[in-house]
Amino acid sequence: MIDPNQVSAPLVRNFIRLARLARQEGHPIGPTSEQIVAALIDDRSDWLRSSYPEPLHTITRLDTGGADWWHTALYVHGLSWRE
């Protein structure tokens, strides 16, 4: 579930940028949380680090950025950001 109150407009722009850049490069770029965002938004589980073997590990790691990271990632995933 996405809480619209937790979606951050600046993060939306940043997450789209990260996902597009990762797609261009063929792998995620940046710190771990940003790599997780790019992998989850682009449905690329092969981009997730081996240190986060279970989906809940990645979600827990992403949540360390703040609740807005999780809600914003879910929101961006549902957008047509690839265009």
Considering the domain boundaries, does residue 83 fall inside one? no
For the residues of the chain, what is the DSSP string, one character each? ---GGG--HHHHHHHHHHHHHHHHHTS--SSHHHHHHHHHHTT-GGGS-TT--SHHHHHHHHHTT-HHHHHHHHHHHTS-TT-
- Rounded mean pLDDT for each run of 10 residues along the chain, 83 residues in total: 92 95 93 91 88 83 87 92 78
C-alpha distances (whole Å) from 58 to each of 24, 42, 82 are 22, 14, 22
Considering the domain boundaries, does residue 82 fall inside one? no
The model's pTM is 0.88
Q: What is the pLDDT of residue 1?
A: 82
Q: What is the pLDDT of residue 51?
A: 80
Q: What is the pLDDT of residue 5?
A: 93
Q: What is the pLDDT of residue 62?
A: 86
Q: What is the pLDDT of residue 82?
A: 81
- Domain extent at residue 45: 4-77
Domain count, the chain: 1
Considering the domain boundaries, does residue 65 fall inside one? yes
